[in-house]
Amino acid sequence: MEALQILSYLLKVSIGVTVVWLLWHAFMRGENNFALSRLFILLGVALSAILPAIAPEISLTTNSIITNQQEVYMVMLKEIAVTAQNGGTNTPWFLMGYGAISLFFAFRFNRRLASIVALYSKANKQRNGSWIIVNHQRDIPPFSFLNLCFINKKNIPNSSIQDVLDHEKAHFSKLHSLDIILFEILSIFQWFNPLFWQLKKRLIEVHEYQADEGVLRKRVDLYAYQESIVSLAFNGIALPIGNCFNKSLTLKRLAMMNLNEKRKGAVIRFSLSLMILGSLLFPIACEKAPETSELEEVVVTAKSEGAAEVQGSIIDGEVFLVAEQMPKFEGKDVNNFRNFIAKNLRYPELAKKKGIEGRVFVQFVITKSGRLGNVKVIRGVDSTLDQAAIDVVKLSDGLWTPGMQRDQEVNVSFTFPIVFTLKK
């Protein structure tokens, strides 16, 4: 992946996380339907990370161009990367710095996991079905991680032990540890975004509210439970990767427990927030499709000296995005075309010497007669790379079987990205 692609992806994810935070702050901040509040955060962060990764696959499939009163569509084929050796290094300094800090956060995550493993290995275990109580001797508050409840019973009054176990088991039943693991992994890549850390903090708060709610459904004595969590919150230092009794959350939890009624309209606020989120994330994630000029005009941004001319052909009739039977390349589906390109494409020597790399978008039409028509670069990089892409696509002329629509041969347009990269 090119340096600019990496930077673009990271920025899109960061912007997406920022949008999630703003929407949560606007609509879900005071929500005491904790399941919906948690779901919104998780869905929002997941979409922010996934959409920019898959957007290049779908970004050009919804565009249409009007040419000569006909509707013309494009099918985006999966890109292919062509790599050439380069003795130099073009790794940007900002990526090196970013990578170094990300390694620090990865090391921190592994160290926290190791501390839990070490604590588990030295403690006594008591299994209760899939739930394991780990009795240790360290001076830290009780906490849970996955199906493990870490507890030092010597530091807890007998009257509070069951409250602690119920609270941590509520974390386990809601799979809260998986949320924390997800955010710990994402923090390796999103450490630079302060709103990501705020969102993680809000999610941990929701975890505690959910666990308290689970305990209070089983018992009536609210004040005795509140007394337990106050005393436990100020006992020792917690391991930051587990679900634990946290000092800073104590007052918020007490206030939330005193809200006897659920706020009305939670589902409406959740649905509205999700719709706004989707409408904002898709434009952020999806790159704008390159615009084309007239269909019959063959456009190459520049050509290297002595390069073969690109021949344009007249396209008779409508050009389709999808036909009932798509064109076949050498008797197989269009993905076989990618193998043909990989086999026949060579990195231009002049581009290698100059250190030129990038993505070239080639557009062409498979006509109803099975010939290659209107081959052109609609977004190029450099004359040498553009012409190399044109030339290799032209080699496929005569190897196609036309697409069929209602038992008739039709024209089908494709757009094919070729990525030229120099191996460092």
Report pLDDT digits (tens) over 120-149. Answer: 998 899 888 888 999 988 888 888 999 999
State mean pLDDT over 248-253. Answer: 69
Q: Can you say whether residue 170 is alpha, beta or left, with left for phi > 0 and alpha for psi between -120 and 50 degrees? A: alpha
Residue 303 has pLDDT above 70, yes or no: no
Residue 307 has pLDDT above 90, yes or no: no
Question: In angstroms, what CA-CA distances link 171 with 30, 47, 79, 119, 242?
Answer: 21, 24, 44, 19, 10
Distance CA 254, CA 222 (A): 10
Who contacts 194 (Cβ-Cβ below 8 Å, separation ≥6)? Answer: none
The CA dihedral of 37, 42, 48, 51, to the nearest 10 degrees, is -120
Query: Quick one: tokens of 53?
Result: 């990764």
State mean pLDDT over 343-366. Answer: 86
Q: Which residue has the tokens 């948690």?
A: 38
State mean pLDDT over 20-29. Answer: 90
Q: Which residues of 152-164 are buried (b: 16+ CB within 10 A; e: fewer)?
A: beebbeeebeebb
Distance CA 374, CA 334 (A): 18
Band (pLDDT 50/70/90 cuts) for residue 181 is: very high
The pLDDT tens digits for 236-245 are 445 455 555 5
Who contacts 189 (Cβ-Cβ below 8 Å, separation ≥6)? Answer: 10, 13, 102
Q: Which residue has the tokens 């997941």?
A: 46
Query: Quick one: tokens of 356?
Result: 């030129």
Query: Quick one: tokens of 206?
Result: 């929701």
Domain 290-423 belongs to what topology?
3.30.1150
Q: Report the relative pairing of strands 124-128 and 372-379 from DSSP bridges.
A: unpaired
Band (pLDDT 50/70/90 cuts) for residue 292 is: very low
Residue 283 has pLDDT above 90, yes or no: no
Residue 3 has pLDDT above 80, yes or no: no
- Give the pLDDT of residue 217: 80
Where is pLDDT greater, at 190 or 357? Answer: 190
Residue 68 has pLDDT above 50, yes or no: no
Band (pLDDT 50/70/90 cuts) for residue 92 is: low
Distance CA 321, CA 278 (A): 25
State mean pLDDT over 79-105. Answer: 72
Residue 300 has pLDDT above 80, yes or no: no
Band (pLDDT 50/70/90 cuts) for residue 314 is: low
- Give the pLDDT of residue 249: 67
Distance CA 53, CA 201 (A): 26
State mean pLDDT over 278-296. Answer: 59
* Domains in the chain: boundaries: 3-56+91-108+157-284, 290-423
- Give the pLDDT of residue 352: 83
- Give the pLDDT of residue 306: 34
